[in-house]
């Protein structure tokens, strides 16, 4: 089971990072990349996180926790080698 935690955690974290691309939107009503003329050069104050972004952050956190747990269990099982 411990051997599956690391690759599955990596897949989940990677999926979360890819999902994070679509996790932000502009307060002007559209995606930040398509509302450049309304938000201007510095659009950081016009960004909000949507439900997809929240799910992406949860996926990244879950994947990282799974990889850390898998690594620590295998490390203890092999006495550090």
Reported as type and span, the H/E element at residue 24 is strand 24-26
At 32-61, the pLDDT tens digits run: 666 666 666 666 666 788 899 999 999 999
Name the pTM for this structure.
0.76
Domains in the chain: how many in total? 1
63 within some domain: yes
| Domain membership of residue 27 as a residue range | 2-35+45-77
72 within some domain: yes
Mean of pLDDT values over 61-73: 94
Tokens linked to 30: 């559209």
40 within some domain: no
28 within some domain: yes
């Amino acid at each position: 089971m411990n051997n599956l935690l690391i690759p599955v955690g990596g897949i989940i974290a990677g999926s979360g990072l890819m999902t994070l691309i679509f996790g932000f939107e502009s307060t002007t009503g559209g995606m930040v990349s398509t509302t450049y003329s309304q938000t201007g050069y510095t659009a950081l104050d016009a960004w909000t996180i949507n439900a997809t972004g929240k799910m992406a952050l949860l996926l990244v956190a879950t994947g990282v926790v799974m990889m850390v747990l898998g690594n620590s269990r295998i490390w203890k099982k092999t006495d550090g080698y």
